[in-house]
């Protein structure tokens, strides 16, 4: 099996990145993590990636305007031979021009059941809204923040005693299973886009999004 080459973009501790690297170590997994690129030199995920034998790099925007930063990032990605980009806590907004250059090849994980609660502070907002189910979403990236065709979602119940921290921890545990699952669907070719409509082989999907609560 020829594995898809994947670059992971991070800005912090890289816990979702680590789950992708762990999955990619399996011989039957359809993706290979070939590079981890951080926007911050102090990101903890760089050491984790290096310890796993993954090539790392820092592309900072310090002293650069957005076009120059994105040009440097694009060059690094192309040097790595990446075919798919996974955003994993990458705290930079990508321009429409960059997204268009990599259209349908950028994935992101967001800590809510999109389209509910795009943006920041999702767990606090979920609790304030009184929702009974919360979770996370892996989606293709579009120029609008936290928008794009949904690949997979994982749900958790909101418990009566939850705080933002306890809810976040429960969602994060699902994220670590969901992101490798979604990347596997894309890298294997089982998940395919026609325009903005997603189809997944082997799943009875009647809508654009596949709702999936991963098994433990």
**Pairing relationship of beta strands 84-87 and 56-58 according to DSSP bridges:** unpaired
Radius of gyration of the chain (CA): 17
- 212 and 153 in contact (C-beta within 8 Å)? yes
Residue 121 designated active-site: no
Residue 143 burial by Cβ neighbours in a 10 Å radius (0-12, 13-18, 19+): middle
Q: Which helix (H) or strand (E) holds 25?
A: none
Record the tokens describing residue 210, joined without a space. Answer: 């596949």
Record the tokens describing residue 49, joined without a space. Answer: 């990636």
Residue whose tokens read 């979403």 = 137
Q: Which residues is 110 bridged to in the sheet?
A: 137
Catalytic residue among 110, 123, 134, 139: 110
Catalytic center residues: 110
């Amino acid at each position: 099996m020829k594995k898809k080459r994947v670059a992971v973009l991070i800005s912090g501790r890289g816990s979702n990145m680590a789950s992708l690297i762990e999955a990619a170590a399996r011989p039957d997994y359809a993706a290979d993590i070939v590079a981890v690129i951080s926007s911050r030199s102090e990101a903890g995920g760089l050491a984790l990636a290096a310890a796993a034998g993954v090539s790392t790099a820092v592309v900072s925007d310090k002293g650069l305007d957005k076009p120059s930063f994105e040009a440097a990032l694009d060059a690094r990605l192309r040097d790595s031979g990446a075919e798919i980009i996974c955003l994993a806590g990458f705290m930079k907004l990508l321009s429409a021009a960059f997204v268009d250059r990599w259209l349908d090849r950028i994935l992101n994980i967001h800590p809510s059941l999109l389209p509910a609660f795009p943006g920041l502070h999702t767990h606090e907002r979920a609790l304030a809204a009184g929702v009974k189910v919360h979770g996370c979403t892996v989606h293709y990236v579009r120029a609008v923040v936290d928008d794009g065709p949904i690949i997979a979602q994982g749900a958790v119940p909101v418990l009566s005693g939850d705080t933002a921290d306890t809810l976040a921890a429960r969602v994060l545990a699902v994220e670590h299973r969901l992101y490798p699952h979604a990347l596997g669907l894309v890298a294997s070719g089982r998940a395919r886009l026609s325009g903005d409509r997603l189809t997944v082989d082997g799943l009875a999907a009647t809508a654009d999004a596949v709702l999936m609560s991963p098994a433990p």
